[in-house]
Amino acid sequence: MKNISKRFSVVLLLAAFLLLTSTLLAQKPKANAFKKVAKDTIALRLDSSKTKVRQFDGQAIERYKAEKEFQYGESDTQQLNWWERFWKNFWAWIDRLFGSDEAPKKSKSWPAFVKYGVIAIVVLGIIFVIFKLVGVDWKIFSKKSKEIEVPYDESLENIHEISFEDELLNATQSQNYRLAVRLLYLQTLKLLSDKELIDWEVNKTNAIYVKEFKQNGGNDVFANLTYQFEYVWYGDFPIDKSIFDMIQASFEQFKNQIK
Amino acid sequence: MEQEQEMFNQRTDLSELSQAVEQIRTQLGKIIVGQTATIDLLIAGLLANGHLLLEGVPGVAKTLSAKLVAKSISATFSRIQFTPDLMPSDVLGTAVFSPKTAEFQFRQGPIFGNIILVDEINRAPAKTQSALFEAMEERQVTVDGNTYKMEEPFMVLATQNPIEQEGTYRLPEAQLDRFLFKIEIQYPSLEEEIEILTQQHQTDTLHQLEDIKPVLNVAQITALRATIKALHVEAKLLAYAAQIVNETRQNKALYLGASPRASLAIVNSAKAIAAMAGRDFVTPDDIVKVATPVLAHRVMLSPEKEMEGLTTADIIAQIIKKIEVPR
């Protein structure tokens, strides 16, 4: 058994030897694989003919320059009026803004409607700035322009549009004291906003207003009024005339302090 | 203020709740310096019957805070250290063959308890984390076709390192949604750190923990939770909470918005915050207070906003600023 395995290993080694050597032989290049280059230089012939120098025709150049079709660059700004110069510079600026290297040429490519569109936007912008500076109420342009004091239900949150006196009267007459307390609180917020003691924004919570009021030197009275409002409005606590009178008195007292 | 308090006599007796809250605050304050907002959210989470995820860098007392809450309650407590090789059966339990009876018997895992501290939850892969899904949402565990109900109260307090840290996995969205709050524990201020050193350089925290005594039992927690559940919420405030959540689904800065489970979480936790403030009704401030801890972990930023360095909390703050407060 040992002899068989020995023979087998000898045969295996022999086979491996033959395989390896044949690979090496296969990689050996043939004798005529690379042909030698006989000659690697070529003699150059010298050009000895005379050179004729041609001159530009100055008149022709001037003639071409005068022709409009060959004026690729900017036109003479001296010939433009101020309005044309303004638009020329504007479009050149727009082109530079959008990274065009050919600013002067591009300026002619803007369509007229874009031009007039931009003019309209600029004009509207100027009007907007003027209106803002003057402090015009934008509501006058809406359909409800005649109705400056809109009804309570239609303007729940814009405290500057609620007619508090009328709405309070309506609420108390109909014994809706819960709504009346709410109106008292909103009226107080408006008052504080007018006096710049709070910065009114509809997305601010009452706690923020209490904080702002205190930061502006206010006392705890507003915090107490907020407490009353929250118990009545969010807490849905039952409220009768006697309690409402007490609440109203404390709101009135605070209003007088602020005024 | 006394006049106002007389004017509006409480409809719901919240004295026991106020007392319990104050006791827990005192207990936690014995060891944790500052972090008042974190402590309030921990208590609110406990009262609102929610699971809490505490996130922070190592060493800011995440595990300690969770252990303190657990120690403040007289209930069974388990701790599971999540590791990369932890298997679901290590958490839930497994069926073991009993030679005596020649039957397989279910041996309960550490998840069966009242307060479960899952430490470093994001060190285990999603497979193990998903083992908690059923237990956290349905308060039951199903193994081999058998369902085992969890005992009430059941609360998971999990801690995790920020996702950027080495060796952590991002939690699956389905699991994140099951946490009522993600409470981000920040570094203490300089003054607080000095106080920590003053208080603790000569004492051992482990010994201090032994001094913490339970202030609430299981029955009391169940009763308090029932009280909170019954608090009044105006319809307009429900709409306000829904609007905030809905906006997370419309906002272009967010890739994934919050689920209706988030709306419920906002309302329930706002009720707990209201009760802790001694009110039996919710105000918009309560909703705003809980909106970020409820939503920040449930929504996903769009890649662009993530690259800009914004966080989900920033976007939620923007959303809240956009929505009109009902008044």
Place of tokens 């000895």: A48
pLDDT-derived band at A84, boundaries 50, 70, 90: confident
Place of tokens 């701790």: B79
Question: Nearest CB to A246: which of B7, B280, B284?
Answer: B7
For residue B155, the SS3 value is: strand
B327 and A182 in contact by Cβ < 8 A?
yes
Q: Given a cut of 80, is residue A143 above it in pLDDT?
A: no
pLDDT reported for residue A150: 41
Question: Nearest CB to A206: which of B279, B285, B321?
Answer: B285
Q: Given a cut of 60, is residue A38 above it in pLDDT?
A: no
pLDDT-derived band at A16, boundaries 50, 70, 90: confident
Q: Given a cut of 60, is residue A108 above it in pLDDT?
A: no
pLDDT reported for residue B319: 92
Instruction: Please state which of the ranges A139-148, B31-40, B69-78 shows the lowest mean pLDDT.
Output: A139-148
Q: Given a cut of 90, is residue B207 above it in pLDDT?
A: no
Distance from CA of A228 to the nearest CA of B (A): 6
**In a mutagenesis test of the B interface, which of A181, A188, A203, A234 is the best target, namely the one with the most B β-carbons within 10 Å?**
A234
Distance from CA of B14 to the nearest CA of A (A): 15
Is residue A253 domain-shared with residue A160, that is, in the same domain? yes
Domain boundary among A133, A162, A177: A133
Examine residue A47 and state whether it is found in any structural domain, yes or no.
Answer: no
Q: Any chain A CB within 8 A of the CB of B289?
A: no
Q: What is the mean pLDDT of residues B23-35?
A: 82
Q: Any chain A CB within 8 A of the CB of B323?
A: yes
Chain A, nearest residue to B232 by Cα? A235
List of residues 6+ apart from A155 with CB closer than 8 A: A161, A162
Q: For strands B300-301 and B254-256, give the pairing.
A: antiparallel
Domain boundary among A80, A98, A133: A133
Find the Cα–Cα–Cα–Cα dihedral A128, A131, A134, A135, rounded to 10°. Answer: -100
pLDDT-derived band at B295, boundaries 50, 70, 90: very high
Examine residue A19 and state whether it is found in any structural domain, yes or no.
Answer: no
Distance from CA of A177 to the nearest CA of B (A): 14
Examine residue A200 and state whether it is found in any structural domain, yes or no.
Answer: yes
Is residue A82 domain-shared with residue A156, that is, in the same domain? no
Q: Any chain A CB within 8 A of the CB of B206?
A: no
Question: Nearest CB to A237: which of B8, B324, B327?
Answer: B8
Would you say B237 and B323 are in contact if contact means Cβ atoms under 8 Å apart? no
Picking from B43, B54, B49, the residue whose alpha carbon sits closest to that of residue B223 is: B49
Is residue A202 domain-shared with residue A128, that is, in the same domain? no
Q: Any chain A CB within 8 A of the CB of B279?
A: yes
**Does ipTM exceed 0.85?**
no
Examine residue A252 and state whether it is found in any structural domain, yes or no.
Answer: yes
Picking from B283, B188, B185, B307, the residue whose alpha carbon sits closest to that of residue B232 is: B283
Is residue A166 domain-shared with residue A245, that is, in the same domain? yes
More reliable by pLDDT, A113 or B254 = B254
How many angstroms separate the CA atoms of A73 and A107, rounded? 11
Examine residue A51 and state whether it is found in any structural domain, yes or no.
Answer: no
Examine residue A223 and state whether it is found in any structural domain, yes or no.
Answer: yes
- pLDDT averaged over chain B? 86
Examine residue A216 and state whether it is found in any structural domain, yes or no.
Answer: yes
Domain boundary among A133, A164, A182: A133
What confidence tens digit (pLDDT) does each residue in B214-252 have?
Answer: 888 888 888 889 989 989 999 999 999 999 999 999 888
Chain A, nearest residue to B284 by Cα? A205
Is residue A112 domain-shared with residue A198, that is, in the same domain? no
- Domains in chain B with CATH codes: 11-212 (3.40.50.300), 231-327 (1.10.8.80)
Examine residue A83 and state whether it is found in any structural domain, yes or no.
Answer: yes
Place of tokens 């006058």: A140
pLDDT-derived band at A151, boundaries 50, 70, 90: very low
Is residue A96 domain-shared with residue A163, that is, in the same domain? no
Q: What is the pTM of this model?
A: 0.69
Give A182's contacts in chain B (Cβ within 8 Å). 327
Give A192's contacts in chain B (Cβ within 8 Å). none
Is residue A172 domain-shared with residue A87, that is, in the same domain? no
For residue B105, the SS3 value is: strand
B283 and A205 in contact by Cβ < 8 A?
yes
Distance from CA of A221 to the nearest CA of B (A): 9
Distance from CA of A93 to the nearest CA of B (A): 30
Tokens of B310: 């914004």
How many angstroms separate the CA atoms of A9 and B265, rounded? 79
Q: Any chain B CB within 8 A of the CB of A207?
A: yes
Give A157's contacts in chain B (Cβ within 8 Å). 324, 327
Chain A, nearest residue to B271 by Cα? A235
Neighbours of B128 (CB within 10 A): 23
- pLDDT averaged over chain A? 76
| Structural domains in chain A (count) | 2
For helices A206-215 and A177-194, angle between their N-to-C axes, nearest 10 degrees: 40
Q: Any chain B CB within 8 A of the CB of A186?
A: yes
B285 and A202 in contact by Cβ < 8 A?
no
pLDDT-derived band at A125, boundaries 50, 70, 90: very high
**In a mutagenesis test of the A interface, which of B283, B292, B319, B321 is the best target, namely the one with the most A β-carbons within 10 Å?**
B283
Q: Any chain B CB within 8 A of the CB of A188?
A: no
**In a mutagenesis test of the B interface, which of A205, A206, A245 is the best target, namely the one with the most B β-carbons within 10 Å?**
A205
B4 and A224 in contact by Cβ < 8 A?
yes
Distance from CA of A233 to the nearest CA of B (A): 8
Give B324's contacts in chain A (Cβ within 8 Å). 157, 202-203
pLDDT-derived band at A152, boundaries 50, 70, 90: very low
Is residue A128 domain-shared with residue A200, that is, in the same domain? no
Percent of the residues in chain B that have a pLDDT greater than 90, as a whole number: 23
Please give the residue range of the domain that contains residue A91. Answer: 71-133
Tokens of B313: 């909390």
Is residue A239 domain-shared with residue A156, that is, in the same domain? yes
Percent of the residues in chain A that have a pLDDT greater than 90, as a whole number: 2
Q: Any chain B CB within 8 A of the CB of A240?
A: no
Q: Any chain B CB within 8 A of the CB of A191?
A: no
pLDDT-derived band at B264, boundaries 50, 70, 90: very high
Question: Nearest CB to A203: which of B11, B285, B324?
Answer: B324
Measured in whole angstroms, how far is the alpha carbon of residue B147 from the centre of its chain? 25
Q: Given a cut of 60, is residue A147 above it in pLDDT?
A: no
End-to-end CA distance of chain A: 121
Is residue A188 domain-shared with residue A233, that is, in the same domain? yes
pLDDT reported for residue B245: 93
pLDDT reported for residue A142: 53
Would you say A250 and A224 are in contact if contact means Cβ atoms under 8 Å apart? yes
For residue A18, the SS3 value is: helix
Q: Any chain A CB within 8 A of the CB of B325?
A: yes
pLDDT-derived band at A99, boundaries 50, 70, 90: low
Backbone φ and ψ of A59, nearest 5°: -65, -40
Is residue A105 domain-shared with residue A175, that is, in the same domain? no
Q: Which of A101-105, A156-160, B130-134 has the highest mean pLDDT?
A: B130-134
Distance from CA of A179 to the nearest CA of B (A): 11
